[in-house]
Amino acid sequence: MNQGDLLTIFNPHGNQVCDFFAIVDNTPFEFLSMEHCRTALWRIYVSSGDILVTNRRRPLIEIVEDTSPGIHDILIACCDLPRYQQLGADGYHDNCADNYKMSLMAIGEQIVHVPSPFNIWMNIPVSTSGEYEWKPPVSEPGDYIVLKARENCTAVMSACPQDMTPVNGASSIPTNLEFQIDVM
């Protein structure tokens, strides 16, 4: 994405989580960082108008529009093979960490680190005591979110393949996502 481009991510079925990553162009060591976003926003939830920052605290992605109830997660790391093994998976299981790596490898980008993603539509309510739960998304079929690039960047999206917790709906069946880029 070039600076100013708009990325619209559509949730056709309403229950699919999108793990979203972004890396600043020509700077593989600078990426969208949820740890730094929490500090910049002074909260653990995001909403329209928020600007998400890099690990160098620079603005990278702006949330322009969100038609869903606005429940997204910036706490949880993406799943990887060890996480699925902890959940009881036998053998290999598709996961967002590998999807991220394979996407970058496919375009010849250097893989330095797998950052924690912006988990779009992931519902992780946090209690006042700090405990959290894995809940189905509250988004509806056809909901979408519009993200604006504040810098030139490579965006990576993974339709979360999680089928061992209800993060992709009560049925725990992953579905598809759709996207559109509007070049400015």
Q: What is the pLDDT of residues 45-103, one digit of tens each?
A: 999 999 999 999 999 999 999 999 999 999 999 999 999 999 999 999 999 999 999 99
Position 137 scores a pLDDT of 96
With respect to residue 168, please indicate whether it lies within any of the assigned structural domains: yes
Position 148 scores a pLDDT of 98
Task: Give mean pLDDT, residues 115-125.
Answer: 97
With respect to residue 99, please indicate whether it lies within any of the assigned structural domains: yes
With respect to residue 136, please indicate whether it lies within any of the assigned structural domains: yes
Is the pLDDT reported for residue 118 higher than 90?
yes
With respect to residue 131, please indicate whether it lies within any of the assigned structural domains: yes
Position 109 scores a pLDDT of 92
Q: How far apart are CA 163 and CA 21, in angstroms?
A: 21
- Give residue 136's pLDDT band: very low, low, confident or very high (50, 70, 90): very high
pTM of the model: 0.96
With respect to residue 174, please indicate whether it lies within any of the assigned structural domains: yes
Position 5 scores a pLDDT of 98
With respect to residue 144, please indicate whether it lies within any of the assigned structural domains: yes
With respect to residue 31, please indicate whether it lies within any of the assigned structural domains: yes
With respect to residue 1, please indicate whether it lies within any of the assigned structural domains: no
In DSSP notation, 119-134 reads EET-B--B-TTS-B--
Q: Which 3-state string (H, E, C) describes 54-92?
A: ECCCCEEEEEEEECCCCCCECCCCCCCHHHHHHCCCCCC
Other C-beta atoms closer than 10 Å to the C-beta of 165 total 14
**CA-based nearest residue to 54, from 140, 144, 152:** 152
> Would you mind telling me the total number of residues written for the chain in this entry?
184
Could you tell me the residue range of the domain that residue 42 belongs to?
6-182
Position 28 scores a pLDDT of 87
Q: Is 31 exposed, middle or buried (0-12, 13-18, 19+ CB in 10 A)?
A: buried
Tokens read off for 87:
């959940």
Task: Give mean pLDDT, residues 133-156.
Answer: 97
Count of domains observed in the chain = 1
Is the pLDDT reported for residue 184 higher than 90?
no
* Stronger pLDDT, 169 or 18, i.e. the higher one: 18
**Torsion sign over Cα 104, 178, 96, 126:** positive
Q: How far apart are CA 37 and CA 65, in angstroms?
A: 18
Could you read off the pLDDT of 1-37 as tens digits, one per residue?
A: 999 999 999 999 999 999 999 999 989 899 999 999 9
